[in-house]
Amino acid sequence: MFNNISISNINSKWLLGGWLGVMAVLVAFSVGMHARVSTSAFLLALGMAPPIVFMLMRAGAPAPTVAEILHSASAKDGRS
């Protein structure tokens, strides 16, 4: 039944939405337990850090390939 599930098949929007849903439940539970507002805000900030980092990394330039790293066009000693 779950033979074809892998990380590469998961849509990033679905993953982000699931993360936000979990965070909403966690903060609602914190407020329901009469935690201080600072504690709930800290939980929210702590939980929002990974998706923000994920989105910043995704928006950046693509990582260089191994071939580009090993055979760079501008070598340090002037060779090419």
- Domain membership flag for residue 43: yes
Q: How confident is the model at residue 3 (pLDDT cuts 50, 70, 90)?
A: low
Q: Does residue 2 lie in a domain region? A: no
Model-level pTM? 0.54
- Domain containing 56 equals 11-70
Domain count for the chain: 1
List, in sequence order, every beta strand (DSSP E) within the chain.
Answer: none
Please report, rounded to a whole number, the percentage of residues in the chain having pLDDT higher than 90. Answer: 11
Would 77 be classed as within a structural domain?
no
Q: Dihedral, CA atoms, 61, 63, 67, 68, nearest 10 degrees?
A: 40
Tokens of 28: 């609602």
Question: Does residue 79 belong to any structural domain of this protein?
Answer: no
Kindly list the distances between the CA atom of residue 74 and the CA atoms of 10, 20, 52, 62, 64, in Å, as whole numbers in the listed order: 38, 43, 33, 19, 14
Q: How far apart are CA 39 and CA 26, in angstroms?
A: 11
